[in-house]
Amino acid sequence: MPEQEVTDNTSLHRFELKQGNETAFILYSKTAHSIRLIHTEVPPALQGQGVASRLVKGTLELLRDSGLTIVPSCPFVADYLKRHREYLPMIDPDHRREFEI
């Protein structure tokens, strides 16, 4: 299956990854300097296929050059960041301590 692209649905405040007729998403809230990743949701039909990890990676790649720091409120996003340390510099400094070893 071809790699799908994560998009920013600004009207719904979520990053989306569409696969077939289903859409996985990460809800967010934005300030001038940061973005809080609040909740990741994957439809049951897409679960167990790595969709959530692809969604988080695509979201982080979209945000990499945005100048915004990340506040990982979603437990899945936080776990992903702990396993993919290349994204740690993107975490808001006030929230980075829990990710540092």
Determine, yes or no, domain membership for 26: yes
Determine, yes or no, domain membership for 29: yes
Determine, yes or no, domain membership for 71: yes
Q: Mind spelling out the 3-state secondary structure of 22-63?
A: EEEEEEEEECCCEEEEEEEECCHHHCCCCHHHHHHHHHHHHH
Q: For 5-44, how does the pLDDT look when each residue is reduced to its tens digit (9 = 90+)?
A: 999 999 999 999 999 999 999 999 999 999 999 999 999 9
Domain count, the chain: 1
Q: What is the pLDDT of residue 3?
A: 54
Instruction: State whether the Cα torsion 73-74-79-82 is positive or negative.
Output: negative
Could you list the residue range(s) of the whole structural domain that residue 52 is in? 7-99
Q: For 81-98, how does the pLDDT look when each residue is reduced to its tens digit (9 = 90+)?
A: 999 999 999 999 988 888
Q: What is the CATH number of the domain that holds 30?
A: 3.40.630.30
Determine, yes or no, domain membership for 2: no
Q: pLDDT band at 101, cuts 50/70/90? A: low
Determine, yes or no, domain membership for 1: no
